[in-house]
Amino acid sequence: MGAAFVAESLSKNYKSVRALDGVNFEVAEGELFGLLGPNGAGKSTLVKIGCGLVHPSGGRAEVCGAPAGTRAANARLGYLAELFRFPGWLTADEVLVLHQRLSDSDGGTRERAELLELIDLSRAADRRVETMSKGMQQRLGIAQALVGSPRLLILDEPTSALDPAGRRIIRALLEELKGRRVSVLLNSHLLSEVELVCDRVAIILAGRIVSEGTPDSLRAGSGVEVETDSGVKHFPDAVRDEIPAIVDRLVADGARIYEVRTTRRSLEDVYLEAVEGQTG
Amino acid sequence: MKVLLLARYVLVECSRRRVFIVVPILSAAFLGLYWFAVARVFATSEFSSVPGPFDERLVVASTMLGLGLFGSFFLGVVLIVFLTFTVARGDAEQGLLQPVVVRPLGRRTFLIGRFLGAATVSMLYVILLFACCVLITRGISGWSPDNVVQPALELGAAVVIVGALTLLGSVFLATIANGVTALMLFGTGLVAGLIGQIGEALNSPTLENISRVMSWALPFEALYQSALTSLTEGISGLSGFLIRLGPFGGAQEASPGLYPWTIGYLAAVGLLTIWFFRRRDL
Ligand SMILES: Nc1ncnc2c1ncn2[C@@H]1O[C@H](COP(=O)(O)OP(=O)(O)OP(=O)(O)O)[C@@H](O)[C@H]1O
Ligand SMILES: [Mg+2]
């Protein structure tokens, strides 16, 4: 099977605003792909195109081999929108029933119970949505996205309203999905979260992808610190492979070396650098 | 069968949402008021026992039932507008729509399902109200129209047309704007009907033409007029003439093309709604 999601020279204009400007990337099967970028960068526009909610102005998007927005594509998709609401007059369990019917899931009571359990909402199964807190609704939204065992899960800031415990639950959930070979396309502003769970990350800026790779590769070239008798020396652009040469040179210069370490930048550093490099 | 699924959820919504509690309350209030008005009219009027040139009781009863028909129409329109005015854009702005449309069903199915639900509820509602008016009128005056099925169905169809137009509006207009537009359109239709009646009374072809064009453009008005007319169909002579002079007399004869036009109109509005809705970014 091919990629779970493909974007090919995707562009989108909202009247005069160019929200996406030739975006190319792929999410492989079973891959957890994180999309980062400042407010208004085009992340939500991109995933909405993937769900068929927004029509691209140019290029194309595919979900599991089917053109985005078709029934075949939507049948393999689970989506949690950035801003969403469920009818307040339905209970949590009934929301899942509705989505089971809409997605032709035959999971029945068991699937619903499992999903509610997964996001720690079992006790609220019979509560109406209108009586739930924002975070509880977001949990329900995540459960809803998982109805019908989608092959691709598109989550647009799924943890924005969650408490720390809730975030951890989602992180564990994402790890578990990876085990089940479910692909995930995740929009998030929580860099530490993305760093922890994503296989690959793209940084999108003003509608273009400016940087893409594994979190490790993005952080690579993060510098070397050497502790010598005359203090700590920094080599900010050095990579791990250069360490022997650096040590040789320092020793040749007569320094005594106590410790050598590679300094790892966080994804946040990489992100801010990329964003400020382009806009600042 | 996701169409039926979505339609069924409209019924569930009506039975559960708190705002819908006002529907039975207002309906009961309307029917109570109608009963009171008819009872008072018949209690206070002095009908001559000698048969005159026309049947006073008949004129009063059918005029009152015309009023009941109008009241039912109005309440039915309010209900269907309420059920359809946010379906596309309003619900999209709330985020209610996205989780549903992203499921494998297609936007057309979504619209048809929602419309079917709203139309069914409103049609049943308006027919029930009208039936109550007929029963109240008969209970008090002893008169009931020869033909009740036709006006009831025409009334239902009129309400459904208002719903279809509101749904079309909901693709473009945000919640409140669409609600206001829908009710204004309804008002415009009513005015068109009144212009026609005035035109007929004054024998002014210009006014009648304006009214005719507007009834074709907004056929819920033509259907409503036709319902009024068919209420009094069996009444002839001076009685019939007097009834038709009144605001609830249904002076205009429906043209024979009204039913095919209604069906074609609904289909065209439906296709346009689907066509525009498919193109929208949500
Ligand atoms: N419906 C719309 N009409 C007009 N412009 C829009 C619309 N939706 C988005 N935009 C514009 O498109 C650009 C991208 O918006 P988008 O919502 O995709 O950003 P984002 O990366 O998701 O931002 P955030 O982090 O704030 O969620 C922004 O400039 C935004 O103003
Ligand atoms: Mg966004």
Tens digits of per-residue pLDDT, A31-46? 999 999 899 999 999 9
Over residues A202-227, the mean pLDDT reads: 84
Given a cut of 80, whether residue B35 has pLDDT beyond it is yes
Q: Calculate the average pLDDT of chain A.
A: 89
- Quote the Cα angle for B255-B259-B260, to 5°: 105
Convert the pLDDT of each residue in B126-158 to its tens digit.
Answer: 999 999 999 999 999 888 888 899 999 999 999
Q: Calculate the average pLDDT of chain B.
A: 89
pLDDT at A263: 76
Whole-number percent of chain B with pLDDT over 90: 64
Mutate which of A23, A43, A80 to test ligand 1's pocket (most atoms within 8 Å of Cβ)?
A43
Convert the pLDDT of each residue in A116-167 to its tens digit.
Answer: 998 889 999 999 999 999 999 999 999 999 999 999 999 999 988 889 888 8
Question: A14 C-alpha to center of ligand 1: Å?
Answer: 9
Given a cut of 70, whether residue A211 has pLDDT beyond it is yes
What is the tally of helices (H) and strands (E) in chain B? 12, 0
State if pTM tops 0.80: yes
A200 min Cα distance to partner chain B (Å)? 25
Given a cut of 90, whether residue B32 has pLDDT beyond it is yes
pLDDT at B275: 96
**Are B214 and B221 contacting, i.e. CB atoms less than 8 angstroms apart?**
yes
pLDDT at B63: 87
What lies within 8 Å, CB to CB, of B230 at 6+ separation is B145, B147, B150, B151, B154, B250
Q: Which among B96, B106, B279 has the least Cβ separation from residue A85?
A: B96
Given a cut of 90, whether residue A179 has pLDDT beyond it is no
pLDDT band at residue B48, thresholds of 50, 70 and 90? low
Over residues B108-113, the mean pLDDT reads: 96
Closest-CA residue to B133 (of B76, B72, B80): B72
- Secondary structure in 3-state letters for chain A: CCCCEEEEEEEEEECCEEEEEEEEEEECCCCEEEEECCCCCCHHHHHHHHHCCCCCCEEEEEECCEECCCHHHHHCEEEECCCCCCCCCCEHHHHHHHHHHHCCCCCHHHHHHHHHHHCCCHHHCCCEHHHCCHHHHHHHHHHHHHCCCCCEEEEECCCCCCCHHHHHHHHHHHHHHHHCCCEEEEECCCHHHHHHHCCEEEEEECCEEEEEECHHHHHCCCCEEEEECCEEEEECCCCHHHHHHHHHHHHHCCCCEEEEEECCCCHHHHHHHHHHHHHC
Residue, of B122 and B216, whose pLDDT is higher: B122
Q: Which among A72, A85, A144 has the least Cβ separation from residue B94?
A: A85
pLDDT at A139: 93
Over residues B249-265, the mean pLDDT reads: 79
Identity of the residue numbered A21: D
Over residues A226-239, the mean pLDDT reads: 83
Nearest CA in chain A to B92: A84
Given a cut of 70, whether residue A14 has pLDDT beyond it is yes
Given a cut of 70, whether residue B252 has pLDDT beyond it is no
Whole-number percent of chain A with pLDDT over 70: 97
Given a cut of 90, whether residue A101 has pLDDT beyond it is yes
pLDDT at A280: 46
- Secondary structure in 3-state letters for B120-143: HHHHHHHHHHHHHHHHHHHHHHCC
pLDDT band at residue B54, thresholds of 50, 70 and 90? low
Given a cut of 50, whether residue B117 has pLDDT beyond it is yes
pLDDT band at residue A254, thresholds of 50, 70 and 90? confident
Strand duo A257-262 + A224-228: pairing: antiparallel
**Are B196 and B252 contacting, i.e. CB atoms less than 8 angstroms apart?**
yes
Q: B245 touching A, CB under 8 A?
A: no
Residue, of A265 and A57, whose pLDDT is higher: A57
Closest-CA residue to B77 (of B40, B46, B122): B122
Convert the pLDDT of each residue in B204-226 to its tens digit.
Answer: 888 888 888 888 899 999 999 88
pLDDT at B195: 87
A74 min Cα distance to partner chain B (Å)? 5
Convert the pLDDT of each residue in B80-94 to its tens digit.
Answer: 999 999 999 999 999
Closest-CA residue to A147 (of A183, A91, A180, A109): A109
pLDDT at B57: 81
Determine whether the interchain pair A86/B98 forms a contact, defined as Cβ–Cβ distance below 8 Å: no
Among A55, A76, A102, A130, pick the best mutation site for testing chain B contact (most B Cβ within 10 A): A102
Residues of B whose CB is below 8 A from A86: 96, 99
A 47-106 residues inside an 8 A Cβ radius of B: 48, 51-55, 71-72, 74-75, 77, 79, 81, 83-89, 98-99, 101-104
